[in-house]
């Protein structure tokens, strides 16, 4: 049976702001059905890459955290490390990135735990009966949580058209190895007649799989997709 989807518009007035509207939405979704006293609650979100402002504002996250606490849960904010280069490929940089974007305890009221640890190797293998994946590699902090509250920003995606909660949880909860497995069927390629040998692709390849002479060449034995 399909779940009910609740909607609120962006209209506000002196007696009802957006944070108050979020409080009303949270009452509708009945978090009390999944949250128990003293149980760990993973608030699964995306902290945004530093310099990018397309992420959920931490002030909204605080409203969710406060509601979880009222129900007796122990919330923590979490995401797993990325495969690609940037500020979120290891726990140290990932934490600093989250803090710079405002996801501090002082703002949200919850600690940040990077789900798959320092280098993205802290994982728990979960057996599933999927068509493509039989054993999902999940960031340990998410796999060990007693409940998950997914907080997702809906966006365009270059491969799938859109990315939403399925991507936030399905891809975002995976450890680096789990992400590699999901990406393994998709590989970049070089259109040689258009390549100008600028070296930009080689610069950003996280595993050094690209070399550039007259044109760029990809070592598919090294490529992680």
pLDDT tens digits, 182-211: 877 778 899 999 999 999 999 989 889 999
The CATH number corresponding to 187-225 among 3.30.70.20, 3.30.470.10, 2.60.40.10, 3.30.420.10 equals 3.30.70.20
Per-residue pLDDT tens over the stretch 21-69: 999 999 999 999 999 999 999 999 999 999 999 899 999 999 999 999 9
- Which fold does the domain 19-185 belong to in CATH? Rossmann fold (3.40.50)
The residues spanned by each domain of the chain are 19-185, 187-225
Average pLDDT over residues 9-27: 96
Question: For residue 96, what is the enclosing H or E element?
Answer: helix 91-100
How far is 177 from 183, CA to CA, in rounded Å?
A: 10
Residue 180 pLDDT exceeds 90: no
Handedness of CA 33, 38, 39, 45 (dihedral sign): positive
Residue bearing tokens 């595993």: 207
Model-level pTM?
0.86
Nearest alpha-carbon partner for 209 in 121, 83, 81: 83
């Amino acid at each position: 049976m399909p779940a009910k989807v609740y909607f609120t518009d962006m209209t506000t007035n002196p007696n009802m702001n957006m944070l108050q509207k979020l409080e009303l939405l949270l009452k509708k979704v009945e978090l009390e059905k999944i949250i128990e006293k003293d149980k760990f609650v993973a608030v699964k979100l995306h902290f945004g890459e530093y310099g990018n402002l397309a992420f959920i504002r931490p002030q909204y996250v605080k409203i969710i955290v406060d509601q979880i606490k009222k129900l007796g849960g122990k919330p923590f904010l979490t995401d797993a490390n990325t495969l690609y280069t940037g500020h979120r490929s290891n726990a140290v940089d990932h934490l600093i990135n989250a803090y710079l974007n405002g996801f501090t305890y002082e703002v949200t009221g919850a600690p940040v735990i990077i789900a798959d640890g320092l280098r993205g190797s802290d994982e728990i293998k979960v057996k599933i009966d999927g068509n493509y994946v039989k054993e999902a590699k999940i960031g340990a902090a998410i796999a060990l949580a007693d409940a998950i509250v997914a907080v997702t920003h809906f966006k365009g995606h270059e491969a799938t058209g859109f990315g939403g909660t399925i991507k936030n949880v399905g891809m975002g909860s995976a450890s680096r190895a789990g992400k590699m497995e999901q990406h393994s069927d998709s590989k970049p390629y070089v259109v040689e007649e258009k390549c100008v040998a600028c070296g930009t692709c080689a610069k950003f390849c996280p595993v050094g799989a690209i070399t550039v002479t007259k044109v760029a060449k990809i070592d598919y034995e090294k490529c992680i997709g």
